[in-house]
Amino acid sequence: MTTLVTGGSKCGKSGFAENYLHNFGGRKYYIATMRPYGEEALRSIGRHRSMRAEKNFVTVEKYTDLHELEFPENSAVLLECAGNLLANEMFSGKDTENPVEKILNAFRKISENVSEFVIVSNEVSSDGIVYSEETMRYMRFISEINAKTAEFADNVVECVFGIPIVIKGALK
């Protein structure tokens, strides 16, 4: 079962995703993709760690090359978040012209090998503002990742003001 959770900044996506897996009976893995750069990132990482402290996740810090990860069949995986993963891939210094397929292939691989896969992502292109070419490229890529993930996901949920709205599927 694959669930895509999207929404704007600080809208309750992470809390929803963690709670969604709360009663999962097997091993739970949390893929943390935020690189610990700067005070704001460190505060965010600290907040997320405290949010999941009692939720029995095994944290795996993986900033790029998600395809390298392997998980047991009957496990649950929560990826936090696709937006950070994309930025890391785009600006890692590696020769990744278009990281969209690389990320989608990794998502499909994980999805096919675990019982539950929850992907947290961001909605970043609804403000109508034209940004720099590099930022617009990032926005196109994350929009494409979200759209293509939504195609194969069993559930798609948008969090708005802390309220999960089911766009596709049915939550348990």
Residue 10 is predicted with a pLDDT of 80
Residue 21 is predicted with a pLDDT of 95
Tell me the per-residue pLDDT of 47-95, one tens digit each, with 9 for 90 and over.
Answer: 777 777 778 899 999 999 999 999 999 999 999 999 999 999 999 877 6
- CATH code of the domain containing 34: 3.40.50.300
Of 41, 134, 137, the residue nearest 80 (C-alpha): 41
78-100 burial code (b ≥16 CB/10 A, e <16): bbbbbbbbbbbbbeeeeebeebb
Residue 95 is predicted with a pLDDT of 66
Of 39, 57, 43, 35, the residue nearest 118 (C-alpha): 57
Residue 54 is predicted with a pLDDT of 76
Q: If the chain, 172 residues long, is cut into consecutive pieces of 10 residues, what is the mean pLDDT of each piece?
A: 93 92 94 85 74 82 95 96 95 80 97 98 86 93 97 97 95 80
| Distance separating alpha carbons of residues 91 and 109, to the nearest angstrom | 23
| Distance separating alpha carbons of residues 145 and 12, to the nearest angstrom | 20
Q: How many domains does the chain have?
A: 1
For the four alpha carbons of 152, 125, 18 and 105, in that order, the dihedral sign comes to positive
The whole domain housing 156 covers: 2-168
Q: pTM for this one?
A: 0.91
Residue 38 is predicted with a pLDDT of 79
Give how far the C-alpha of residue 86 lies from the chain's centroid of Cα atoms, to the nearest Å: 10
Give burial (CB, 10 Å; 0-12/13-18/19+) of 2: buried
Neighbours of 127 (CB within 10 A): 10
Pairing relation of β-strands 116-120 and 2-7?
parallel
Residue 62 is predicted with a pLDDT of 96
Helix (H) or strand (E) segment spanning residue 110 = helix 100-113
Mapped onto helix, strand or coil, the DSSP state of residue 170 is coil
